[in-house]
Amino acid sequence: MELDKAISSRKTIRKFQNKNVPDNYLYEIIQSAMLAPSAKNRQPWRFYILDDNQKNDITNMMYDWASENKDIHTSIKGSANQMKTANKAIIIYTPNYHSKNKKTYYKKPDYLSLGAAIENMNLKCFDLGLGCTWLCDTLYIENEINNYLKIDDLEQVSTLIIGYPEEVPERSERFPIDKLLLNDIYKDANKTKNT
């Protein structure tokens, strides 16, 4: 698939068909993440592919947290609904920088590296005919999930839920480029181009 088409056509999918995603697709998705650029080639990504029981248990843990914390406004219940219908889920981790003897100045560059890896995963899902969305609401129960999965000394970054799309939503409106640029080089270039 052409890159421009993938970037312009990919959408966040929140409703999924009841259809199995092949295991080899998951490995292709993770391999695409591994090809992302990373600061100093640290490759700060680690992946946990949830089996069906683990995905269902973690979804129920999210529902439980939402019920116990009704006074806190979050989207965790909506994320749990999405995760429940997704066929697969991958939790993305990174080394825990709060541990002793870890270099905290790696944190921001490694988050940028992780963002690149997650975007590769998004685009690979789309290329394979799958839908996905990355969730941060699992972070509300990060400690509970880590205890459940017996994960130690890793920091949870996000959870990618994956499946075959049940529906493809309209793309949400994007800000115009003029609103996003902090200087006027683009405007000047456009004037020159159009004269």
Please give the full DSSP string across 61-85, using - where no structure is assigned: HHHHHHHHTTTS--SHHHHHHHHHH
Give start and end residues of each alpha helix (H) in 16-175: 23-34, 52-68, 76-85, 107-127, 142-149
β-strand partners of 94: 155
The parent domain of residue 188 ranges over 3-194
Token pair in block for residue 156: 């949870």
What was the pLDDT predicted at 180?
A: 85
The CATH code of the domain that includes 47 is: 3.40.109.10
Q: What is the mean pLDDT of the chain?
A: 89
Contact criterion met (CB below 8 Å) for 135 and 158: yes
Domain count, the chain: 1
* Alpha-carbon gap, residue 34 to 114, rounded angstroms: 10
What was the pLDDT predicted at 108?
A: 86
- What region, left, alpha or beta, does residue 81 occupy, with left being phi > 0 and alpha being psi -120 to 50 degrees? alpha
SS3 38: coil
Write the pLDDT tens digit of every residue in 61-83: 999 999 999 999 999 999 999 99
Q: Are strands 131-135 and 46-49 parallel, antiparallel or unpaired?
A: unpaired
What average pLDDT score do residues 47-59 get?
98
12 vs 87 pLDDT, higher one? 87
Write the pLDDT tens digit of every residue in 98-146: 555 555 667 888 999 999 999 999 999 999 999 999 999 999 999 999 9
